[in-house]
Amino acid sequence: MKILNQNSKFIQIFAAVGDSWEIDELVLSGAEEFTCRLYGFSPRIKKVDEAREIKIKKICGSSLELRQGLSVDLSTFPPCKRVLLEHMKRVNFQVCL
């Protein structure tokens, strides 16, 4: 709720969910930005795939190779854009009903 209260843009974006049967690109990009903020990324990171890449580089280093014995909790990663789009489609469908 704190993120929503700090940025009224997100409230307007989520209010537009369910206005039509298709996901508007503005709604999807806003959902991406909101998701990045939920996962603790700075406001300059607006794309979930970019956020995932940053998280991977933080864990693996510049080599982008997983080291043996390194445990990675994938639940700490934001969803990729493709998965977020499917989630938004389900939410939009429910709201449209």
Q: Residues 33-53: pLDDT tens digits?
A: 999 999 999 999 999 999 999
User: Which positions ≥6 away from 84 have C-beta within 8 Å?
Assistant: 28, 31, 32, 35, 48, 78
pLDDT tens column, 12-22: 999 999 999 99
pLDDT at 69: 67
- Give the model's confidence band at 84: pLDDT under 50 very low, under 70 low, under 90 confident, else very high: very high
* pTM for the full predicted model: 0.86
61 contacts 72 by C-beta, under 8 angstroms: no
Hey, what are 72's tokens? Answer: 């990675």
